[in-house]
Amino acid sequence: MAWLVAGLGNPGDRYARTRHNLGAMVADELARVAGERFRKARFVPVEVAELTIDGERVWLARSLRYMNESGPSYASTAKKHDIAPDHLIAVHDEIDLPFGTLRIKIGGGTAGHNGLKDISARLGSHDYWRLRLGIGHPGDKNAVTDYVLQKPLPEERELIDAAIFRGIEALPLCLSGDMQGAMQALHRGAEPKPAPERKE
């Protein structure tokens, strides 16, 4: 069975490099490293790229709708390619994790994340994987919206880049079904690594 990797984020240049778009940034980098480009899907507000990672067929997707209404994009893509919820990995930012921390889990609540809420509603299931990239909490719940829609501070950039590359490194383990190995790799908190070379 193929996999669907959904890089959550808001569309448009205004949001492209904000904290809330870390999921989309992982998807962008994964496509870049693989030498693939996103293409607009027919009849569905989503861009997709088809990859092969360690022999596994992967559909990489970015919704063209805003985060809180992106569920139909990913649910329709999963249905089109006959992908079950347990073969969907939603990659997203997580304010309840320290900046640069990565975690992976299946199912559970959405912790108020609007993108996950809509995906769960449209899939009719919470039982999909989540690759969570920590962006920290501003310390005041009333400041969360502004905080996630801001671009990271300069000192946060290295942590973000390292988190993106670690997420990409863990994906082959996820796709092979070795979720325990992926969890161990991410939870160890590996040291930042250099960016992968561009595939020509």
Residue carrying the six token digits 């939870």 = 187
* Phi/psi of residue 107, nearest 5 degrees: 70, -165
20 a catalytic residue: yes
Considering only CA atoms, which of 88, 104, 122 is closest in space to residue 188?
A: 104
20, 87, 92, 113: the catalytic one is: 20
Contacts of 57 (CB under 8 A, 6+ apart): 2, 3, 50, 51
The set of catalytic residues is: 20
